[in-house]
Amino acid sequence: MAVTSRIMLMTCIIASLIYISTTQTCSNYTFSTNQVFNSCIDLPVLHAHLHWNYIPSTTSIHIAYRATQTSTGWIAWAINPTGTGMVGSQAIVAFQNSSGIMTVYTTPITSYTPSMQPGTLSFSVSNFSAIYANNEMTIFAVFGPLKNGTTINHIWQAGSSVSNGIPQTHPTSGPNVQSMDSLDLLSK
């Protein structure tokens, strides 16, 4: 009996070590694009992570937002310069189009039933791109200059379908309505 218990204990320890060594948090993640970010946070819902570099000279933020997603879904990351929720958010959205190519664009969120059509934001967004690999979508972009200081209200989102090139509504309960927070760009 003692030998069986030891074998089970060793199996559990080895399995735990394998799990820990293969789990990707933001702090041990390496981008295939060789981009380096000084700060990151593992977001509390939607299996998402935010990496960023704050650039004080231009009051801009260079981000990489990555989230677990299927090839038929979509992801979005946004800053809300006027409030804490979804409405008023200035978003960047990404998905794989019907040809398998990543599509990424900006869209202002003006209601709880947004069009999700490409649109102009209230501040500049540049150098945006997106990749899909290993069941994860990643958006890269530079937001700014930002006018509200170094603390931002940010929102992240994911949906399961895209129809005719437009992301469809995400669930309106659970993690999808918990995906917002305040972020100090000088932290982490």
The span from the CA of 141 to the CA of 152, in Å, is 16
Q: Is residue 94 part of a domain?
A: yes
Count of domains forming the chain: 1
Maximum distance among all alpha carbons in the chain? 68
Is the pLDDT higher at 1 or at 159?
A: 159
Is the pLDDT higher at 23 or at 47?
A: 47
What is this structure's pTM? 0.82
Q: Is residue 30 part of a domain?
A: no
Q: Is residue 95 part of a domain?
A: yes
pLDDT digits (tens, 9 = 90+) for 123-132: 999 999 999 9
Q: Is residue 14 part of a domain?
A: no
Report the mean per-residue pLDDT for the chain: 83
Taking residues 47-66, what's their average pLDDT? 94
Length of the chain: 188
Please give the residue range of the domain that contains residue 146. 35-184
Q: Are 135 and 70 in contact (CB under 8 A)?
A: yes
Q: How open is the CA angle 29-32-35, to the nearest 5 degrees?
A: 75
What is the CATH classification number for the domain harbouring 166? 2.60.40.1210
Two structure tokens written together for 26: 């933001």
pLDDT interval class at 11 (50, 70, 90): very low
pLDDT at 80: 93
pLDDT digits (tens, 9 = 90+) for 96-152: 998 889 999 999 999 888 888 999 999 999 999 999 999 999 999 999 998 878 899
pLDDT interval class at 14 (50, 70, 90): very low
SS3 12: helix
Taking residues 4-30, what's their average pLDDT? 51
